[in-house]
Structure 1
Amino acid sequence: MRKLLLYSACLLLTQCSKCKDNDPTPEEQLPPATQTGANTFGCLVNGQPWTPQGSDGTANYTVSYDLFPSGGILNISTYRISGQGGNDFQTIALWAKEIQSPNTFSIQNSSTAAASFLDRKTNCYWSSTDATLTYRRGTLTITRLDLQAGIVSGTFAFTLYKPGCDSIRVTNGRFDYKL
């Protein structure tokens, strides 16, 4: 009887591991990187999938592009509410200026692009323009800027650290928006 129970337990454990083999990877849980105006946004935050979620009465994902003679200004703003409490709230914001065509912008000590992340649960706010940051690396790449079709798409990744908060590592970022 004991052997039967042991074999049954081994069989169950084997079956559970097979289920995990079919689970999507964190990258597979993100929206695809498109350039069609699909109104999508996603990234990995410290290795975990992050997409806009919830509502506080305003849109949880907005993009604006304002044209100026020296090039346009792009603002991307998104938030995620992951629970019931007011502290279950995170935001990601990106901006770049002097955009005239698809291009890559560095957020490192740059006055032409920036990235930020707010996590109310940890009460930490990281901004690449914050002088208290001791580490800032990253890029924002515009892969499509089609004003005729009203589509802006791109990719991004950044790592920010400041004393008193863990580092925030955003990777595999992608956005695609119909203006």
Structure 2
Amino acid sequence: MKRFYLIPVLLFLILVLCSCTEEDLPKPTQSGANMIACKVNGKPWISEIKSLFVNGEKFSVTSGYYEKPNRYFVLWARRVNDDENSSIQLAIEDLKSTGRQTFEVNSNLYPGNYPTKNYGYYQNRDNRMDTKNYVTNTNYKGSINVTRFDTINYIVSGTFEFTAENLDGSGETVKISDGRFDVKYR
């Protein structure tokens, strides 16, 4: 008779263990929270800096909006802690309004070229300082959906996803999914 009581307890424990996540992504916002988050190959990634200082200031998300000749928008986010040094970069060649734009062309992002096309980019540097650079191209694509483009309060928010290929020619890819961003620009 005691065995029948054990089955519901085991089922409950299995449900609890399966519902736990290692880290939840923040909910999408549109308030200029200076946040970017996504999943990298299924694992949560949230921009944060714990040990990197630039010009005496700590930063994890930065953006730029350049009006000439196009309305070029670049969003760059970093994650630096004891285990990880990685960054994500999103670019829109001509940001004029809300809506979906795709990452599907070769952007000539590397080495040292200043891209002028839409692209998604991921960089990861491990503890040995080996750097892997991944960028979208005609074979590995993605998109960005701008849900708020506020030119009065200087806020850009939205979602993104992409698959990018390692620039070393190995054919290795990275999948970025469930992305969301909410930044102030100037």
TM-score w.r.t. length of structure 2: 0.74
> Is it true that 1:128 corresponds to 2:136 in the alignment?
yes
> Is it true that 1:94 corresponds to 2:100 in the alignment?
no
Counterpart of 2:36 (choices 15, 34, 41) is 41
Give the equivalent residue in structure 2 for 1:81.
80
1:155-170 alignment runs, 5 A limit: 155-162=159-166, 163-164=169-170, 166-170=172-176
**Secondary structure, in 3 states, of the residue corresponding to 1:99?**
coil
Q: Deviations over 1:35-93 (max 9, x none)?
A: 2212221101101100112241041111222233x542111111112416xxx311111
Q: Residue 88 of structure 2 contacts residue 121 of structure 2 at CA under 8 Å; is this kept in 1?
A: yes
Structure 1: give runs of 5+ residues left out of the alignment.
Answer: none
Moved over 3 A (4+): 9-16
Q: Residue 54 of structure 1 contacts residue 81 of structure 1 at CA under 8 Å; is this kept in 2?
A: yes
How far did residue 21 of structure 1 move?
4.0
How far did residue 34 of structure 1 move?
1.7
> Is it true that 1:106 corresponds to 2:102 in the alignment?
yes
Q: What amino acid sits opposite 1:62 in the alignment?
A: T
Counterpart Cα distance in 1 of 2:20 and 2:60: 27
**Secondary structure, in 3 states, of the residue corresponding to 1:19?**
helix
Structure 2: give runs of 5+ residues left out of the alignment.
Answer: 107-115
Return the index of the structure with the highest Cα Rg. Answer: 1
Give the equivalent residue in structure 1 for 2:62.
62
Q: Residue 87 of structure 2 contacts residue 123 of structure 2 at CA under 8 Å; is this kept in 1?
A: yes
**Secondary structure, in 3 states, of the residue corresponding to 2:141?**
strand
Q: Deviations over 1:89-143 (max 9, x none)?
A: 11111111211111322111165301111111263111236xxxx8321112211
TM-score w.r.t. length of structure 1: 0.77
Counterpart Cα distance in 1 of 2:19 and 2:101: 37
Q: What amino acid sits opposite 1:112 in the alignment?
A: K
Between 160-169 and 96-105, report the one with greater CA deviation. Answer: 160-169
Q: Deviations over 1:7-44 (max 9, x none)?
A: xx989866643431442486xx1111122212221101
